[in-house]
Amino acid sequence: MRSRIRLIGLVSAITFLFISCQKETSQLTPLNTTSHHIPVADGGPSKNVLLPATATLTGTGTSQNGPIVGYLWSLISGPNVPVIQSPSSPTTVISGLVVGNYILQFMVIDSMGYAGVDTAWIRVTAPAQVTLTLQPTTNHNELNFAVVGSANASDSSIDLDAAAWTNGGAPFLIRGATKFDLSSIPPGSTIISAKLSLYSNPTPINGDLVHPNSGSDNSMWIRRFSTNFTASASNWGNMPATETSTQVLIPHTALTTLDLIDVDVKNIVSSMMLNGNYGFQIGLQNEFAYNIRQFASSRHPNAALHPKLVVVYQ
């Protein structure tokens, strides 16, 4: 009986202590349980761009913790390492792009130092190839720079020549010049190919007046003028200089008639797009008398024989 009384007393004591602890605990000041939220970053919509181009990305960010105080753009993956022009701004321009897919990370940082990230995609593709065919009639940017002795004899006729001959015993030199309108090719385009065709003039007005080609060495070159000319105001004395680094050499021919079909002038046209389209010049490699190549100019009555340039670009 005595043991039972002791057990009841022990249980009562434990119950009393538990209730006392509960009361004391309920009187404590609660801990600061304020929660912090990860900022929400938005790198903006995906971009599809055509070369040559840059891409502009604009990201945004929000946070429940406070204002956004920092931004950071960085490259995750891509076919090369482009230039991120303003990596710490919400809006940046990406340049130096090549064909392929890019993934960039956009990070925002709030005033509490918390960061949120998102990704932005850029897909870069090459534009479709465009073929430009030029074969003008009565091209006003075309003439023969010519001199007889020391007298200017430049003119525009049905011939476009590279020649060294004589006229009344005086030396006679001709260098043909023609310029095509390339203004429809957008700046920055890539020249895929460029083919120039010159057709022998079946009714020559120089040389022996019978054969378009004559001479023991009528090899010639095609060059780019390095400065501009105006046909109506040009003569042998003010003929512009030419660029030789991209020149095309045409070998001698013993054939009296030989059309030059699809001569590769890609390097010349590429240089024109970069350094100025001032036209082509044709001339003999060695200007010794009685060598000549006579082609139909844009003034020839047969339009099919006019000089033709075909450019493929993208």
* Residue 21 resides in a domain: no
At 105, the amino acid letter reads Q
Q: Are residues 244 and 304 in the same domain?
A: yes
What CATH number should be reported for the domain holding residue 103?
2.60.40.10
Residue 237 falls inside a structural domain: yes
* Phi-psi sector, 312: left (phi>0), alpha (psi -120 to 50), beta: beta
Q: Are residues 66 and 176 in the same domain?
A: no
Among 125, 159, 181, the domain-final residue is: 125
Tell me if 179 is assigned to some domain. Answer: yes
Number of domains present in the structure of the chain: 2
Backbone angles phi, psi at 305, to 5 degrees: -95, 0
**25-76 pLDDT, tens digit each:** 333 334 344 568 999 999 999 999 988 789 999 999 999 999 999 999 999 9
Q: Do both 85 and 152 map to the same domain?
A: no
Residue 25, pLDDT score: 36
Question: Is residue 33 in some structural domain?
Answer: no
Assigned domain for 59 exists: yes
Q: Could you read off the pLDDT of 172-184 as tens digits, one per residue?
A: 999 999 999 999 9
pLDDT at 302 over 50: yes
Report which of 263, 287, 278, 133 is spatially closest to residue 215, judged by C-alpha positions.
Answer: 287
The per-residue pLDDT of the chain, averaged, comes to 90
Q: In terms of residue numbers, what domain contains 99? A: 40-125
**This model's pTM is above 0.75:** no
pLDDT digits (tens, 9 = 90+) for 137-159: 999 999 999 999 999 999 999 99
pLDDT tens profile 197-207? 999 999 999 99
Q: What is the pLDDT of residues 223-272, one digit of tens each?
A: 999 999 999 999 999 999 999 999 999 999 999 999 999 999 999 999 99
Query: 281 with 242: CB under 8 angstroms?
Result: yes
Query: Is residue 150 located within the same domain as residue 234?
Result: yes
212 and 290 in a single domain? The answer is yes
Tokens of 288: 């010794």
Are 263 and 148 contained in the same domain?
Answer: yes
| Same domain membership, residue 138 and residue 115 | no
Residue 168 lies in a domain: yes
Q: Is residue 14 part of a domain?
A: no
Q: Are residues 241 and 259 in the same domain?
A: yes
Residue at which a domain ends, from 125, 152, 170: 125
In a shared domain, residues 229 and 155 = yes
- The count of C-alpha atoms lying within 13 angstroms of the C-alpha of 210, restricted to the half-sphere facing its C-beta, is 2
| pLDDT score at 256 | 97
Instruction: Report DSSP state, residue 237.
Output: G
101 and 200 in a single domain? The answer is no
242 and 215 within one domain? yes
Domain closes at, from 69, 92, 125: 125
Please report whether residue 23 resides in a domain: no
One domain for residues 51 and 68: yes
